[in-house]
A = this chain, B = another copy of it.
Amino acid sequence: MDERFGLDRRVRLLGPIPLDSGRGFAPVEIAYETYGALNADAGNGVLVCHALTGDQYCASEHPLTGKPGWWARMVGPGKPIDTDRYCVICANVLGSCMGSSGPASVDPATDAAYGMDFPVITIADMVRAQELLVGHLGIERLHAVVGGSMGGMQALVWASLFPARVARAVVIASAARHSAQNIAFHEVGRQAIMADPKWRGGAYYAENDPPAAGLSVARMAAHITYLSEAGLTDKFGRRLQDRPGKPGAKSFGFDADFQVESYLRHQGLSFTGRFDANSYLYITRAMDYFDLADAHDGRLARAFASTKSRFCVVSFDSDWLYPTAESRRIVHALNGARADVSFVELASPFGHDAFLLDNPELDRVVSGFLGAAA
């Protein structure tokens, strides 16, 4: 049995990774899972990249929440990303908090948590760490890199930075850069965390008393951007919350009278049980820094100049966080680079979150694209 493969894997890779900031980072801890068997020619590896608050548990139970994997409906035997055919790899991104190196990790140089001494990283730095892992697994060329939201950004960077190692890239509900509005919402979240006195400049690990209130507000603000206005209206409208013994009524106070208030508060609170506030700062920063055209004089097509990958780009019509226009921009750039790209805008009432939800059309698009010859 090859210990590199299976559930709940961890590996320490020496690196160092050359970070975009100019620093190097080593050693690199990576927590990951694999599902399905790697072929003898190691040609069936599919890397699944997770979003801002996601993790490596895409198809198995989350160890803290006990919930099914965040993409269990997409990844598994007979599913669109079919683990009977592919060896699926999903790794916690650099900077996160589920086992890969991040601000909550212990710095071997000091034996204390990094906190804000953790280097500021970028999406490309996350991909560099993944590339170390893929090499460690003995995979020369991935059958595909697949991701939604920040995962889609990683798929784009993979194809741009390591063109020889990616046969296919699937980019769902994503963008090649963060817009001013995207940055603005993230900045609100960061300010909410840093305004919490318990944040203590990021050095809250020893006290075991994290800035949960600030992180909860950050999550609430972000969560609104994941849903569409119409979706919120359908799901909650102005319906009032029932209380023990009495039906919904205005309290003329500041309790959660409306169901949408109660829902948001729950989203905020439950998030603090599974996520580290400093990781939230670092990963939102990486996303805000993301503009794939930056290193190419602002010309996105040049980022794909040497690409050999086939691309599949998917957007959702009600996604206002990464709207279809951003996907079209990617497609135009790929066309400009004469890359092979298919694009589809899917209908969904669920806004940005649609990529995580049941959507038979998305399933067909993904499985069809992965199954086609490269």
Closest to A187 in B: B261
Are B195 and A197 interface neighbours, CB within 8 A? no
Point out the residues of chain B lying under 8 angstroms from A183, CB to CB.
238, 258, 260-261
| Chain B residues whose C-beta falls within 8 Å of the C-beta of A320 in the assembled complex | 229, 320
Scan A283-299; emit 1 where CB is below 8 A from any B CB, else 0.
00100110100000000
A208 to chain B, nearest CB (A): 18
Task: List A117-140 residues whose CB lies under 8 Å from chain B.
Answer: 119-120
Contact of A179 among B192, B216, B233 (CB under 8 A): B233
Tell me the bound Cα distance from A181 to B289 in angstroms.
28
Contact residues, A99-132 vs B (CB, 8 A): 116, 119-120
What residues on B are CB-neighbors of A233 within 8 Å?
179-181
Contact of A360 with B by CB under 8 A: no
Find the B residue at minimum CB distance from A220. B188
Contact across chains for B232 and A180 when beta carbons are under 8 A apart: yes
Total contacting residues, chain A, CB less than 8 A: 56
Q: Which of B178, B188, B191, B238 makes the CB contact (< 8 A) with A224?
A: B188
A178 in contact with B289 given A188-B220, A188-B221 (CB within 8 Å): no
A250 close to chain B: CB less than 8 A = yes
Distance A217 CA – B250 CA, assembled complex (angstroms): 26
Cβ-defined partner of A285 (8 Å) among B119, B238, B254: B254
Contact between B232 and A217, CB atoms less than 8 A apart: no
CB distance from A327 to the nearest CB of B (A): 15
A50 in contact (CB, < 8 A)? no
Q: Complex Cα distance A180/B183, Å?
A: 23
Instruction: Flag whether A72 is at the interface (Cβ < 8 A).
Output: no
Contact between chains at A224 and B190 (CB < 8 Å):
no
Q: Which residues of B contact A195 (CB under 8 A)?
A: 192, 196, 213-214, 216-217
Shortest Cβ distance from A232 into B: residue: B180
Which residues of B sit under 8 angstroms from A289, Cβ to Cβ? 250
Which residues of chain B have C-beta atoms less than 8 A from A181's C-beta? 224, 227, 229, 232-233
- A338 in the interface, Cβ–Cβ < 8 Å? no
Cβ–Cβ contact A264 & B177, under 8 A:
no
* Chain B residue at smallest Cβ distance from A298: B238
A192 — which chain B residues lie within 8 A by C-beta? 192, 195, 217
| Residue in B closest to A282 when the chains form the complex, CB atoms | B254
Asked whether A281 is an interface residue with its Cβ less than 8 Å from the other chain, the reply is yes
> Is A26 close to B, CB under 8 A?
no
The answer to whether B191 and A265 have CB atoms under 8 Å apart is: yes
Q: How far is the CA of A22 from the CA of B252 in the complex (A)?
A: 10
Can you name 23 A-B residue pairings with CB atoms under 8 Å?
A: A21-B252, A22-B252, A116-B254, A120-B253, A178-B238, A180-B233, A180-B235, A180-B258, A181-B227, A181-B229, A181-B232, A183-B238, A187-B220, A187-B264, A187-B265, A188-B217, A190-B254, A192-B192, A192-B217, A217-B217, A229-B323, A238-B291, A258-B288
The 5 A-B pairs at the shortest CB distance, nearest first, are namely A195-B213, A180-B232, A21-B252, A120-B252, A187-B261
Binding site for B on A (CB under 8 A): 20-22, 116, 119-120, 177-181, 183-185, 187-188, 190-192, 194-197, 213-214, 216-217, 220-221, 224, 227, 229, 232-233, 235-238, 250, 252-254, 256, 258, 260-261, 264-265, 268, 281, 285, 288-289, 291, 320, 323
Beyond A184-B232, A217-B217, 4 additional contacts (C-beta under 8 Å) are A179-B238, A180-B258, A183-B238, A191-B265
